[in-house]
């Protein structure tokens, strides 16, 4: 095993760290309070190559590996998990899915502007009655000649209003159940496609999460991704990689909270000395650091397996399950270490605690990750 990063990976990590500190940290509290989408920051991320970091340069991406991606995700999410999830969805679910399963025409038309950050993508799977049970799609796509007619509703869609390209999962052949599901590229502004209300969320508030409504939306056949009936496999394979991205997001939230807690413990005094010198605080910090390091190894292992074209299903589920729990545990302790200041917005850790929770829910709840791991164990 080689735990050393390449020079290219170190450069990506440093660039993401500098960007987070200079471009994301100023205004992060205000964006959270105002639920303001980081549009300018996302454009700059695209210019830096981080919105299509794993996409081949041929299609407008940076052409880097998954390890580089998770290193960058961690650094971004140390400061702003809302921007991080926008970056994750665009990279893991949209760009990766189109690059690996889209037609050449689809890659030229949609992947290039998405990977370069010129456009933003959204992945539309969840529905009012189809969250963890992704097989129960109520959104339908009825074939009519050279096009499909799309009807239905999608919930909890990240980049819901800011995206201009949407990958929509829909049922075409109900009698075939999950084998009759397809995925379609839908452009914003298509007649019959309406962006619904913005969700008022507990955390990742600067990320715009919306419901989407489709009423007799006409989709040309060339906008179907893959063969007829490939939609469910498309969703599951992209979500496997997406879990690595969310695990890296959780890792970033946790490591950011630890960094703030360490700095605070060296400044805050009680009983005549910095609180870092109190054993109770040292034990908390030691537990936080140990869990974070373990989570980082799981995340890097999953990324490494993906880069080696090996089966990473179990590793990705383990990384997301563990890292999301570490994010919750660490941020709760970070607030505790900060005491009353931890409850105040300007110290950041209360936002991190709110942001951490969603990592246990989206792109497969922790319970679903345990199901995935259990099934892999019995293969």
Half-sphere exposure in the Cβ direction for 329 (13 Å, CA): 17
C-alpha torsion 310→313→315→319, nearest 10 = 140
Identified catalytic residue from 23, 333, 363, 367: 363
**Is the alpha carbon torsion for 223, 82, 194, 124 positive or negative?**
positive
Angle at CA of residue 329, ends 156 and 124, nearest 5°: 15
**Is the alpha carbon torsion for 51, 252, 101, 134 positive or negative?**
negative
290's CB contacts (< 8 A; 6+ apart) are none
In whole angstroms, give the CA distance from residue 184 to residue 318.
30
- Backbone torsions φ then ψ of 183, nearest 5 degrees: -125, 135
In whole angstroms, give the CA distance from residue 231 to residue 183.
5
Closest CA relative to residue 218, chosen from 123, 138, 124, 144: 144
In whole angstroms, give the CA distance from residue 292 to residue 254.
7
Pairing of β 273-274 and β 269-270: antiparallel
Residue ranges of the alpha helices (H) in 49-141?
66-79, 81-88, 96-101, 104-106, 112-115
- Backbone torsions φ then ψ of 337, nearest 5 degrees: -65, -40
Annotation marks residue 267 as catalytic: no
In whole angstroms, give the CA distance from residue 51 to residue 84.
10
Q: Report the chain's terminal Cα–Cα distance, integer Å.
A: 26
In whole angstroms, give the CA distance from residue 374 to residue 379.
9
* Residues labelled catalytic: 363
């Amino acid at each position: 095993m080689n735990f050393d990063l390449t020079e290219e990976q170190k450069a990506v990590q440093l660039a993401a760290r500098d960007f987070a500190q200079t471009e994301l940290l100023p205004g992060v509290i205000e964006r959270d309070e105002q639920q303001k989408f980081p549009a300018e920051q996302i454009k700059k991320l695209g210019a830096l190559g981080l919105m299509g970091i794993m996409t081949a340069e041929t299609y407008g991406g940076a052409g880097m590996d998954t390890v580089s991606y998770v290193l960058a995700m961690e650094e971004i999410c140390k400061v702003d998990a809302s921007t991080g999830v926008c970056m994750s969805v665009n990279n893991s679910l949209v760009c990766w899915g189109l690059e690996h399963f889209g037609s050449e025409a689809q890659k030229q038309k949609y992947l290039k502007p998405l990977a370069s950050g010129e456009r933003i993508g959204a992945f539309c799977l969840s529905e009012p009655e189809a969250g963890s049970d992704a097989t129960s799609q109520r959104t339908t796509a009825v074939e009519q000649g050279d096009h499909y007619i799309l009807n239905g509703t999608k919930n909890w869609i990240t980049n819901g209003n800011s995206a201009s390209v949407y990958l929509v999962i829909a049922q075409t052949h109900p009698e075939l159940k999950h084998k009759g599901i397809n995925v379609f590229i839908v452009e914003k502004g298509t007649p019959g496609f309406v962006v619904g209300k913005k969700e008022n969320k507990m955390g990742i508030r600067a990320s715009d999460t919306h419901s989407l409504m489709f009423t007799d939306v006409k989709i040309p056949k060339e906008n179907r991704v893959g063969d007829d009936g490939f939609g469910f496999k498309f969703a599951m394979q992209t979500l496997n990689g997406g879990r690595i991205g969310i695990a890296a997001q959780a890792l970033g939230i946790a490591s950011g909270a630890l960094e703030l807690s360490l700095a605070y413990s060296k400044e805050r005094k009680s009983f005549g000395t910095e609180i870092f010198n109190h054993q109770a605080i040292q034990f908390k910090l030691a537990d936080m650091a140990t869990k974070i390091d373990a989570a980082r190894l799981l995340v890097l292992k999953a990324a490494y397996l993906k880069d080696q074209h090996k089966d990473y299903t179990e590793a990705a589920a383990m990384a997301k399950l563990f890292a999301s729990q570490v994010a919750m545990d660490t941020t709760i302790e970070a607030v505790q270490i900060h005491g009353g200041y931890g409850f105040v917005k300007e110290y950041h850790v209360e936002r991190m605690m709110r942001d951490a929770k969603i990592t246990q829910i989206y792109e497969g709840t922790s319970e679903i990750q345990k199901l995935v791991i259990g099934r892999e164990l019995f293969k």
